[in-house]
């Protein structure tokens, strides 16, 4: 049986830097010199990696700042990011810095997300370059040293390093290169029950901390002759207050009930993304 995974790669950057051109060159081996403003385009493609079939959704976002709600939603649902700037435009490089700040503000797991930064328009004349490799590398590897980031320069027009841009995600993903366990991969889509349980586990104290707290409470408890009374009350209170993971069967029942109510009422679900 072949395992299947679905991940979402979100492309961010300023207007006119070639985000759509890179995506279309990679997916369709085509390039259109005519510029067309993108609102939001979604492409899907399957890739076979060993015994795993990976379904990749590439979300090409708008370079203008007129759709902040759409950009926030795309950042919240992404498993990986591709930041694109033009080597001939200093402002485009500042925009991807702003985009990264948005990711850092919205995503607590930003340090574990695979990120590739692509400097496009390598086909232009050398005197047109305003962002050197050294300038970009200084920001990427000095200011973001603990992140899983890769810097690549490419040309969507001449199809130079376009495939390498997307191959970088294979090296940045621990799941795809097989260096870590399948369940720890940031690209792994997890159920809401699993996410709720893991967040509750992170908020809970470690067993060592609980034992230290219990020992301290016993030492400071003059009311209990055996030294166990307060510890038992505190431990039972902690067990009651600790969040429990939601049952997956409950989630499925609620989902089926909601869908049945929609069908009975005749409403149309407009939130499905194909």
Contact in structure between 250 and 207 (CB atoms under 8 Å):
no
If one compares 72 and 170, the residue with the highest pLDDT of the two is 72
**Does the pLDDT value for residue 273 go beyond 90?**
no
Spatial separation of the C-alpha atoms in residues 41 and 74, rounded to whole Å: 11
> What is the average per-residue pLDDT within 122-148?
91
Q: Is residue 208 classed as helix, strand or coil in its secondary structure?
A: helix
> What is the average per-residue pLDDT within 225-243?
50
Q: Tell me, which fold does domain 3-184 have in CATH?
A: Rossmann fold (3.40.50)
CATH 3.40.50.300 residue ranges in the chain?
3-184
Spatial separation of the C-alpha atoms in residues 165 and 173, rounded to whole Å: 13
Round the average pLDDT of the chain to a whole number and report it: 74
If one compares 4 and 99, the residue with the highest pLDDT of the two is 99
Element containing residue 64 per DSSP (H, E): none
**Does the pLDDT value for residue 221 go beyond 50?**
no
Q: Is residue 139 classed as helix, strand or coil in its secondary structure?
A: helix
**Does the pLDDT value for residue 14 go beyond 90?**
yes
pTM listed for this prediction: 0.63
Residue 49: band (very low, low, confident or very high) from pLDDT cuts 50, 70, 90: confident
For 203, the token pair is 């908020």
The number of CA neighbours under 13 Å toward the Cβ of 126 is: 0
> What is the average per-residue pLDDT within 201-215?
45
List, for residues 51-94, the tens digit of each pLDDT value: 778 899 999 999 877 778 888 999 999 999 999 999 999 999 99
Q: Quote the pLDDT of residue 260.
A: 59
Cβ burial of 34 (10 Å; 0-12, 13-18, 19+) is exposed
Q: Quote the pLDDT of residue 90.
A: 95
Residue 217: band (very low, low, confident or very high) from pLDDT cuts 50, 70, 90: very low
Element containing residue 238 per DSSP (H, E): helix 229-241
**Does the pLDDT value for residue 257 go beyond 80?**
no
Contact in structure between 99 and 12 (CB atoms under 8 Å):
yes
Q: Quote the pLDDT of residue 23.
A: 96
The candidate with the shortest Cα–Cα distance to 40, out of 11, 6, 18, is: 11
- Between the alpha carbon of residue 24 and those of residues 20, 27, 31, 119, 157, the distances in Å are 6, 5, 7, 16, 10
């Amino acid at each position: 049986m072949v395992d299947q995974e679905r991940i979402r790669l979100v492309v961010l950057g300023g207007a006119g830097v070639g985000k759509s051109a890179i995506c279309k060159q990679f997916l369709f081996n085509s390039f259109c010199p005519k510029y067309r403003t993108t609102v939001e385009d979604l492409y899907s493609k399957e890739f076979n990696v060993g015994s795993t079939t990976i379904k990749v959704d590439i979300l090409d976002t708008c370079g203008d700042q007129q759709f902040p709600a759409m950009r926030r939603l795309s950042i919240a649902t992404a498993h990986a990011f591709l930041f694109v700037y033009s080597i001939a435009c200093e402002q485009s490089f500042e925009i991807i810095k702003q985009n990264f700040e948005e990711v850092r503000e919205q995503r607590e797991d930003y340090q574990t997300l695979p990120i590739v930064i692509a400097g496009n328009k390598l086909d232009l004349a050398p005197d047109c370059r305003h962002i050197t490799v050294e300038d970009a590398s200084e920001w990427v590897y000095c200011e973001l040293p603990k992140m899983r980031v890769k810097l690549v320069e490419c040309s969507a027009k001449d199809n130079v390093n376009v495939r390498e841009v997307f191959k970088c995600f294979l090296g940045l993903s621990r799941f795809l290169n097989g260096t870590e366990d399948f369940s720890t991969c940031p690209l792994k889509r997890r159920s809401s029950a699993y996410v709720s349980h893991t967040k509750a586990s992170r908020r809970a104290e470690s067993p060592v901390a609980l034992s230290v707290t219990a020992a301290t409470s016993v030492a400071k408890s003059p009311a209990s002759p055996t030294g166990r009374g307060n510890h038992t009350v505190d431990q039972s209170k902690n067990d009651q207050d600790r969040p429990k993971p939601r049952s997956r069967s409950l989630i499925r029942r609620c989902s089926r009930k909601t869908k049945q109510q929609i069908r009975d009422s005749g409403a149309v679900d407009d939130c499905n993304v194909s």
